[in-house]
Amino acid sequence: MSLDEHGGWSGVLGRLTAGADLSAAECTAVLSEILAGHATDAQKAAFIVGLRLKGETVEELTGLQRAMIAAAEPLNVPDTTIDIVGVGGAPSRRTHALNVSTMAAFVAAGAGASVCKHGNRKASSTSGSFDFLEAIGVDIEISPEQLEVQVAEHGVGFAFARTFHPAMRHVGPVRAELGIPTVFNILGPLSHPGKLTRQVIGASDWTLAHRMAETFRATGSVRTLIVHGEGGLDELTTTGPSRIVSLEAGEITEIEV
């Protein structure tokens, strides 16, 4: 359905400002409009901030994920491939935080897992995974075909969001100017171009953990761990307890380690 069938921008933004939740179809229509380059910067910012102030629901995240995947470049990797990624947007006091998830991707691949890490340069965190990869000399701007070969032959590869989600160029400037964590921090892990069904996700905001697990379940994931370290880390931590929301075979449970 088109955005006009949902009352257009004024209808959707009016419902958001009134604190109403949107349907999955409304969210798909809005983000499709944005990714097609048909929205103004004011409309994009109003939608992004409106969702964040209200709090994104599982249904809204599911609808947004559908639009992201529909606009993405396809990627074919083995069915058992996993993603290891942090949501980002961790507390501002983490000025010297390490990008642990990227290092974990190499460790997991070395242990025999098939890993295709999806990520980007930093948007609202202190260090994006692909900033780290560039710093150690990894060529991040490779074609989908080259990435498929890397994962198949070496068991590890890195899907640069800019390559696989080119339509996000319509969102990037507004997102950077806002300078705060937004729904796109959440959508990145949810929108792997390989449509992976197995992932380990770091969440700096614990209130997101269950919603993300439920969204992964709604979009077909079979095994997911959402991890949150003490003090707002989007990683497992050794300095205190870590909390985990686990999705396995449709069941969601919570544990502490």
Of 29, 51, 71, the residue at which a domain comes to its end is: 71
Q: Are residues 247 and 167 part of one domain?
A: yes
Among 16, 44, 71, identify where a domain stops.
71
What is the pTM assigned to this prediction? 0.89
Cα angle, residue 188 at apex, residues 182 and 189 outer, rounded to 5°: 120
* Integer CA distances (angstroms), 254 to 62, 153, 164, 242, 250, in order: 21, 35, 32, 11, 14
**How do residues 208-234 score in pLDDT, each as one tens digit?**
999 999 999 999 999 999 999 998 888
H or E element, residue 229: strand 223-229
Q: Are residues 92 and 62 in the same domain?
A: no
DSSP letter at 74? Answer: P
Q: Give 165-176 pLDDT, tens digit per residue.
A: 999 999 999 998
Q: Are 82 and 49 in contact (CB under 8 A)?
A: no
pLDDT tens for each residue of 32-75: 999 999 999 999 999 999 999 999 999 999 999 999 999 999 99
Interacting residues of 212 by C-beta distance below 8 A, sequence separation 6+:
61, 87, 186, 189, 190, 201, 203, 226, 245
Domain range for 49 is: 3-71
Angle at 67 between CA 199 and CA 45, to 5 degrees: 100
Q: What is the pLDDT of residue 61?
A: 98
Q: What pLDDT was estimated at residue 97? A: 63
Report the DSSP pairing between strands 156-160 and 198-202. Answer: unpaired
Separation of alpha carbons 57 and 203, rounded Å: 16
Cα–Cα separations (whole angstroms), residue 253 to 62, 83, 209 = 20, 20, 11
Residues 181 and 127 both lie in one domain: yes
Pair (44, 10) in one structural domain: yes
Q: What is the DSSP string of 6-33?
A: GTHHHHHHHHHHTTPPPPHHHHHHHHHH
Residue 78 falls inside a structural domain: no
Looking at the structure of the chain, the number of domains it has is 2
Q: Which of 151, 109, 103, 90 is nearest to 129 (CA)?
A: 103
Separation between Cα atoms, residue 14 and residue 8, nearest integer Å: 10
**Reported confidence tier of residue 93, pLDDT bands at 50, 70, 90:** very low
Whether 77 is covered by a domain: the verdict is no
Neighbours of 202 (CB within 10 A): 25
* 212 part of a folded domain: yes
Domain assignment present for 26:
yes
148 and 212 part of one domain: yes
Residue 82, strand partner residues: 115
Q: Give yes or no for a contact between 43 and 24, defined as CB atoms under 8 angstroms apart.
A: no
For tokens 């705060």, the residue is: 180
